[in-house]
């Protein structure tokens, strides 16, 4: 299982991409999930080469999406940005672009959901041509007003079903979906469309909405049970550890990565 | 519409029950939602008389629930406490007890959901005998680990459907359900079972998980649209304003209640 472990680099938020790659290499983590704002001045192609030269592979690029906007002009600008994200994913050498779909520009969440569908439709051909798949990541409903109007795996499955499963799928993150009474049914339904699996834990009490995710084992999520369901649905790809947590961000990678590896074994593998 | 307006007394958290009743009377609010921990030493029957003497009626009593627990003994104690809550609702003179169902005592959220169903089953006959209906209130999924494993209106509907609709129904709170892609379908499905409707708004950014709810109009929820759907499903009961917000709690009732009345007219009625 350890070969499936990937460091989503937001977990080591203070590190540059080369530093995160070097930390992974040192701690025997063979995959990395890259964020666009962490790409270096050398560009995605050089960064991809640097990662491969270190013996790592890129599990995904975060993130495209953010489709809803108040004006048609702004929506076009967002679509253009998604096209750049697809190019960067291709250049970097990963076949998966994670989509965080975006909040509504006003109170009309139904209209925003339509804008998300329209936005994905606008970039599907670009993604196919680039050999990049688009992974719709449903975010926890507490982010509905600020980050994503796509809030459940059921909704992501419904949205994905409108498109070619070779191009559009879903990304499942334990933190976002663990509470859902329909979770296991929807994981099974996502079979053939699961493009990524992210793990972190839900702390009690929740320390912070954005920066309160926990290290696996420190919270209440049945991470292994969810991983087993995802695997049973046919997924055998990377397991990215993606933790937005102030204390972990402030910690030293030399301490965080060994802990992350151990907890992955204890709680997920 | 103004006759349906009810002050859920948590909105004026610093006031005693007599003070909240007097504030409602002064500001032409004819209904109040009462919390158990605010009942006076005189007891629920006297409190009910005091409320009626002031010309108000009780829209509901908050709250029963909290069924899941680690041991059978503790679960029995919770059920006993729900029986006391039913008695208090009857004494107070309201036919609706709101259920906040409780979190899991461990990581097994599915088992906790079963404990909720078992807990309701254990008190249904008591509720029927007392003429008190049990309103299952789904809470926002961000409360799944700390307050309620019942997280969506769909789940509350499924749970309610196991019981006599004359005794068990649902309570719909805009803050908890607004994000749900299945919301309007589930509101329609709740027809005949809607025992309460609570309103507040979702602020952006969210100031706090527990104490960050907003005054109607200050956030992104389509409150009137949801109210119209609830009414279209056959509900014509109270509309309780229930706001957990530190700034509103610290404000003066003389300022908060007129604002609340005006915003109710602007955003909901």
Flag whether pLDDT at A17 surpasses 90. yes
More confident residue, A172 or A207: A172
Say which of B103, B108, B179 has its CB closest to residue A144: B179
CA-CA distance, A103 to A117, in Å (whole number)?
Answer: 13
Please state, in angstroms and as integers, the Cα–Cα distance from residue B24 to each residue in B5, B61, B103, B226, following that order. 10, 17, 33, 25
Under an 8 A CB cutoff, do B141 and A180 touch? yes
pLDDT score at A1: 81
Per residue in A142-170, pLDDT tens? 999 999 999 999 999 999 999 999 999 99
Say which of B146, B152, B221 has its CB closest to residue A205: B146
pLDDT score at B121: 98
Both tokens assigned to A241: 């550890």
Spans in chain B with pLDDT lower than 70: none
- Chain A residues with CB under 8 Å of B109 CB are 178-179, 220, 222
Give the residue-averaged pLDDT of A178-186: 98
Per residue in A104-129, pLDDT tens? 999 999 999 999 999 999 999 999 99
Q: Are B192 and B165 in contact (CB under 8 A)?
A: yes
* Residue B209 DSSP SS3: coil
pLDDT score at B1: 81
pLDDT above 70 covers a percentage of chain A that reads 100
Q: What is the ipTM of this complex?
A: 0.95
**Which of B31, B29, B38, B30 lies closest to B10 in space, CA to CA?**
B38
CATH architecture classification, A2-267: Alpha-Beta Barrel (3.20)
Give the residue-averaged pLDDT of A39-47: 98
Per residue in B191-205, pLDDT tens? 999 999 999 999 999
Q: Indicate the domain borders of chain B.
A: 2-267
Q: Which residue of B has its CA nearest to A142?
A: B142
Q: Are A241 and A217 in contact (CB under 8 A)?
A: no
Under an 8 A CB cutoff, do A151 and B113 touch? no
């Amino acid at each position: 299982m350890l070969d499936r472990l990937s460091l989503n680099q937001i977990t080591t938020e203070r590190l540059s991409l080369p530093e995160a790659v070097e930390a992974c290499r040192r701690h025997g983590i063979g995959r990395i999930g890259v964020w666009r704002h962490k790409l270096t001045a050398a560009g995605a192609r050089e960064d991809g080469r640097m990662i491969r030269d270190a013996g790592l592979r890129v599990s995904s690029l975060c993130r495209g999406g953010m489709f809803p906007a108040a004006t048609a002009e702004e929506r076009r600008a967002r679509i253009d940005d998604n096209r750049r994200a697809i190019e960067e994913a291709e250049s970097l050498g990963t076949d998966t672009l994670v989509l965080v779909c975006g909040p509504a520009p006003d109170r009309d969440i139904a209209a925003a959901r339509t804008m998300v569908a329209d936005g994905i439709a606008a970039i599907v051909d670009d993604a196919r041509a680039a050999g990049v798949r688009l992974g719709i990541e449903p975010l926890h409903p507490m982010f509905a007003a600020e980050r994503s109007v796509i809030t459940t795996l059921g909704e992501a499955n419904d949205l994905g079903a409108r498109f070619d499963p070779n191009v559009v799928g879903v990304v499942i993150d334990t933190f976002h979906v663990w509470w859902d009474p329909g979770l296991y049914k929807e994981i099974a339904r996502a079979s053939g469309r699961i493009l990524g699996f992210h793990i972190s834990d839900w702390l009690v009490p929740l320390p912070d909405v954005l920066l309160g995710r926990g290290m696996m084992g420190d919270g209440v999520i049945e991470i292994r049970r969810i991983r087993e369901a995802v695997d049973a649905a046919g997924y055998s790809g990377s397991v990215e550890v993606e933790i937005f947590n102030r204390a972990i961000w402030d910690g030293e990678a030399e301490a965080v990565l060994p802990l992350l590896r151990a907890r992955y074994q204890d709680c997920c593998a």
